[in-house]
Chain A
Amino acid sequence: MAAQNGSGGSALYVTGGTTLLVGINEWEISPAMEPTEHVAFTEDWVNNYPGPRKFSGSFSGRGDDDTSQDTLRNAMLGGSVLALRLHTQTAEYWNVATAYLTGQSDRLSREGIMERSWDFVGSGALTYV
């Protein structure tokens, strides 16, 4: 047993095959559920029932002129659908079959490396492989 850590992580996009997103060193994904509340007239406590799930996430790292980041920028500008895999380790990953980029942030200072991040929102089911 060992702590999951970033040494085996990665972020890939899928277009038939998979392509490593070069320059990414951090990702986050947040599955969520919107439960349905119900309170009967005779009850004092709220009941919650499973509702639809949804997810969103982000990934970030350095800005790089690698073509993988060009692809992401074009998807952002074009509003294109995207498929992602966010690996926790080599053989395990969050499988984002359908997502749309909802934001990109580029930040550059004279003294440093460009910082770049993307936000996305999923559409349909999220699975863990």
Chain B
Amino acid sequence: MSSGFMTLGSAIHARMSGHVGVAVYQNRAPQGGTPEYCILQQQSATEDYWFGNGIDSIVDADYVIKVVSNDYWPAQAMLIYDGSVHPRIQFAPLTVAGHVQLFCERIRTIPSYQDSDFFWHVGGLYRVTVQGTA
């Protein structure tokens, strides 16, 4: 896979952007961005290979996908995450050029927390697994 960060991240972003009711960003929101918004970020990925022509591999990546809110309570972030974000990405058919998707599903939720700037973070950890077909 040429770039798991870009290829997979773009596929997830394309799946969600415009469909979850809030803006979707990779890794961080722009300075001054208006909450609530959705952030996706790759945590780690493994790449397994099989004998053959060197391109037979399966990438298994974990992504945090979360809603960030500056509301006083986390409820608004929870509503968006449970109502729009999670249903949109859970078992989603991602389009990744040159690859066939094997898994796209949540493997755990992340504890809701409020950061030092009083932004609530609500979301889950998803594994996205694709197999090269080139």
Contacts and interface: CB of A to CB of B under 8 A. Distances in A.
B32 interface: no
Contacts, number: 28
Contact of A20 (B49, B51, B58, B102): B51
A24 B50 CA distance: 6
A48 interface: no
A24 B51 contact: yes
A11 B58 contact: no
A10 B52 contact: yes
B111 interface: no
A94 B78 CA distance: 59
B51 A113 contact: no
A125 to B, nearest CB: 24
B54 A20 contact: no
Nearest to B105: A111
A62 B102 contact: no
B51 A10 contact: yes
Contacts of A22: 50, 52, 56
Nearest to B54: A7
A25 B50 contact: yes
Interface string B69-85: 00000000000000000
A62 B50 contact: yes
Contacts of B58: 62, 113
A57 interface: no
Interface of B: 48-54, 56, 58, 102
Interface of A: 6-7, 9-11, 20-25, 61-62, 87, 113
Given A6-B51, A113-B58, 4 more contacts: A10-B51, A22-B52, A25-B49, A62-B50
